[in-house]
């Protein structure tokens, strides 16, 4: 039986030596990443948690946005809990450039000295935040699933699965600042929008063109791009070992397209190299939270279920009536997916 236990507290720093004047660091920051000028759901989820942490500390919550032409989106962030939004608006910031983003974030953290910096454990966050933490010589806990404040010493308790994901470890960063963590999408709740909330937007004028950069974006290729939005998709159509071979994922892709959804997969399908890892749903893949999740030929192993069980409606198609996926399904179809999927496609194509 898969069991999770609370582990001992681990420090992110090898040497218990403070190189930072800890008292200078105040407040909670979240890095509000953007894709094509829009914030992914994890940004709002981080704002909700950031608000709670800031309130527990008696400090303010700030969001940092690096992008361009996003005034309207930026002005909405106080409604989700931000007291201050620092906004760097520059055409060179439209898409992610590691050198530019790291440089800006490091400079702003050095200037404003937040005690906590949180970001999404997205592909962008995973690429950006370790570079920032390394330059700042501070600790970073990746892929957190829980964050709390220790009331005794104001430390951020950063919880994440560890040791083969069998236990939960709580990690602290007692001697360096800021305390940094990335958080997986959909493990936190998005706060309700408060139209009466007041907050300040601070536009920062940075000479971005003067920042040395080693790479230029030549072209943006969106091949397989829908998987980037898997964590935020409203409809997810997933396949498992029951699909039998990789080419049968084409059936799922057609169904997903007709429904306006994204394609997900079990680890068995990913391990068989039928579909790339970025589509994997579950404990070691993405956590999804759609309105509708359809599972075709997926047995419902616990490691898959933890990645999709919070979906509003779960439809499972499996030819084994005892498959555990039926225990959590809203609607279950005992049947052959090779009959059910073509029938659904035919019906949906008939409607279009
Ligand atoms: C540390 C760890 C982390 C893991 N992380 C993940 C993770 O992130 N995500 C994940 O998915 N798994 C993960 N796993 C693996 C997980 O335990 C399961 O092995 C995996 O989810 C099984 O995938 P599956 O349901 O596709 O395959 P199976 O368990 O083999 O199920 C296939 C299902 O297809 C059904 N079927 C077959 N043919 C048809 C048909 N024609 N029509 C309808 N139904 C059919 C069968 O009845 C069966 O129920 C992890 C395991 C470990 C140990």
Whole-number pLDDT of residue 198: 92
24 and 122 in a single domain? The answer is yes
Inside any domain, residue 97 = yes
> Is the minimum distance from the CB of 277 to ligand 1 under 6 angstroms?
no
104 and 176 in a single domain? The answer is yes
Whole-number pLDDT of residue 4: 43
Inside any domain, residue 27 = yes
Residue-wise pLDDT tens digits, 172-187: 999 999 999 999 888 8
Inside any domain, residue 105 = yes
Give the mutation target among 267, 307, 309 for probing the ligand 1 site: most ligand atoms within 8 A of CB: 267
Which residues form the domain of 300? Answer: 225-351
CA dist 183 and 186 (Å) reads 9
> Is the minimum distance from the CB of 280 to ligand 1 under 6 angstroms?
yes
CA atoms within 13 A on the CB side of 291: 5
Whole-number pLDDT of residue 319: 98
Whole-number pLDDT of residue 47: 98
Residue 2 structure tokens: 């898969």
24 and 173 in a single domain? The answer is yes
Provide the CATH number for the domain around residue 307: 3.40.50.1220
**Among 210, 244, 273, where does a domain finish?**
210
> Strands (DSSP E) along the chain, which ranges?
6-11, 28-31, 61-67, 84-89, 116-120, 140-144, 146-149, 156-162, 167-172, 179-183, 200-204, 235-239, 262-265, 292-296, 313-318, 331-334
On the question of a cis peptide bond just before residue 178, with omega within 30 degrees of 0, the verdict is yes
171 and 254 in a single domain? The answer is no
> Is the minimum distance from the CB of 112 to ligand 1 under 6 angstroms?
no
Q: Is residue 210 scored above 50 in pLDDT?
A: yes
Q: Which range, of 4-8, 79-83, 102-106, 217-221, averages the lowest pLDDT?
A: 4-8
Q: Band the pLDDT of 2: cuts 50, 70, 90.
A: very low
Residue-wise pLDDT tens digits, 91-111: 999 999 999 999 999 999 999
Q: How far is the CA of 284 from the centre of ligand 1 (A)?
A: 13
> Is the minimum distance from the CB of 265 to ligand 1 under 6 angstroms?
no
Q: Band the pLDDT of 232: cuts 50, 70, 90.
A: confident
Residue-wise pLDDT tens digits, 131-160: 999 999 999 999 999 999 999 999 999 999
Q: Band the pLDDT of 19: cuts 50, 70, 90.
A: low
Q: What is the mean pLDDT of the chain?
A: 91
Counting atoms of ligand 1 from 1, which one is nearest the CA of 244? 38
46 and 190 in a single domain? The answer is yes
Of the candidates 38, 81, 261, the residue with the CA atom closest to the CA atom of residue 188 = 81
Segment 304-317 mean pLDDT = 95
Inside any domain, residue 219 = no
* SS3 state of residue 97: coil
Counting atoms of ligand 1 from 1, which one is nearest the CA of 285? 8
Counting atoms of ligand 1 from 1, which one is nearest the CA of 268? 23
Inside any domain, residue 1 = no
CA atoms within 13 A on the CB side of 4: 13
Inside any domain, residue 241 = yes
> Is the minimum distance from the CB of 191 to ligand 1 under 6 angstroms?
no
**Among 152, 177, 210, where does a domain finish?**
210
Query: Quick one: which H or E segment has residue 233?
Result: none
Structure pTM?
0.78
Bigger pLDDT: 286 vs 78: 78
195 and 321 in a single domain? The answer is no
236 and 192 in a single domain? The answer is no
> Is the minimum distance from the CB of 238 to ligand 1 under 6 angstroms?
no
60 and 161 in a single domain? The answer is yes
Q: Band the pLDDT of 351: cuts 50, 70, 90.
A: low
174 and 238 in a single domain? The answer is no
> Is the minimum distance from the CB of 272 to ligand 1 under 6 angstroms?
no
189 and 60 in a single domain? The answer is yes
CA atoms within 13 A on the CB side of 349: 8
Segment 52-78 mean pLDDT = 97
* SS3 state of residue 338: helix
144 and 276 in a single domain? The answer is no
Segment 17-29 mean pLDDT = 84
Provide the CATH number for the domain around residue 46: 3.40.50.620
**Among 176, 210, 244, where does a domain finish?**
210
Q: Which range, of 8-17, 191-200, 234-243, averages the lowest pLDDT?
A: 8-17
Whole-number pLDDT of residue 15: 56
Task: Tell me the C-alpha to C-alpha distance, in Å, between residue 272 and each of 231, 255, 269.
Answer: 22, 21, 5
Q: How many domains does the chain have?
A: 2
């Amino acid at each position: 039986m898969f069991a999770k236990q609370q582990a001992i507290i681990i420090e992110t720093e090898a040497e218990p030596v403070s190189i930072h004047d800890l008292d200078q660091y105040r407040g909670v920051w979240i890095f509000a990443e953007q894709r094509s000028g829009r914030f992914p759901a994890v940004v709002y989820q981080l704002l909700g948690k950031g608000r709670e942490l800031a309130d527990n500390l008696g400090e303010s919550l700030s969001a940092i946005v690096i992008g361009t032409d996003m005034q309207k989106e930026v002005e909405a962030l106080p409604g989700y809990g931000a007291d201050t939004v620092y906004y760097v608006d520059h055409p060179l910031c439209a898409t992610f450039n590691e050198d530019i983003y790291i440089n800006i974030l490091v400079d702003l953290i050095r200037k404003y000295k937040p005690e906590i910096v949180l970001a999404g454990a997205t592909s962008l966050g995973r690429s950006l935040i370790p570079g920032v933490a390394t330059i700042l010589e501070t600790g970073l806990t990746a892929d957190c699933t829980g964050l709390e404040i220790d009331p005794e010493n104001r430390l951020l308790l950063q919880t994440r699965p560890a040791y083969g994901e069998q236990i939960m470890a709580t990690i602290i960063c007692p001697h360096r600042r800021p305390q940094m963590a990335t958080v997986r999408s959909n493990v936190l709740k998005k706060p309700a929008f408060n139209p009466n909330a007041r907050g300040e937007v601070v536009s920062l004028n940075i000479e971005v063109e003067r920042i040395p950069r080693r790479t230029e974006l030549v072209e943006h290729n969106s091949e397989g791009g829908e998987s980037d939005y898997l964590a935020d998709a409203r409809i997810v159509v997933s396949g498992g070992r029951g699909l039998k071979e990789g080419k049968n994922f084409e059936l799922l892709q057609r169904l997903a397209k007709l429904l306006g959804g994204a394609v997900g997969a079990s680890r068995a399908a990913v391990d068989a190299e039928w579909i790339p890892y970025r589509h994997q749903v579950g404990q070691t893949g993405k956590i999804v939270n759609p309105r509708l999740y359809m599972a075709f030929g997926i047995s419902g192993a616990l490691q898959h279920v933890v990645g999709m069980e919070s979906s509003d409606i779960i439809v499972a198609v499996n030819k084994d009536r005892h498959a555990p996926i039926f225990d959590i399904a809203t609607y279950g179809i005992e049947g052959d997916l090779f009959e059910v999927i073509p029938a659904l496609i035919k019906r949906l194509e008939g409607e279009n």
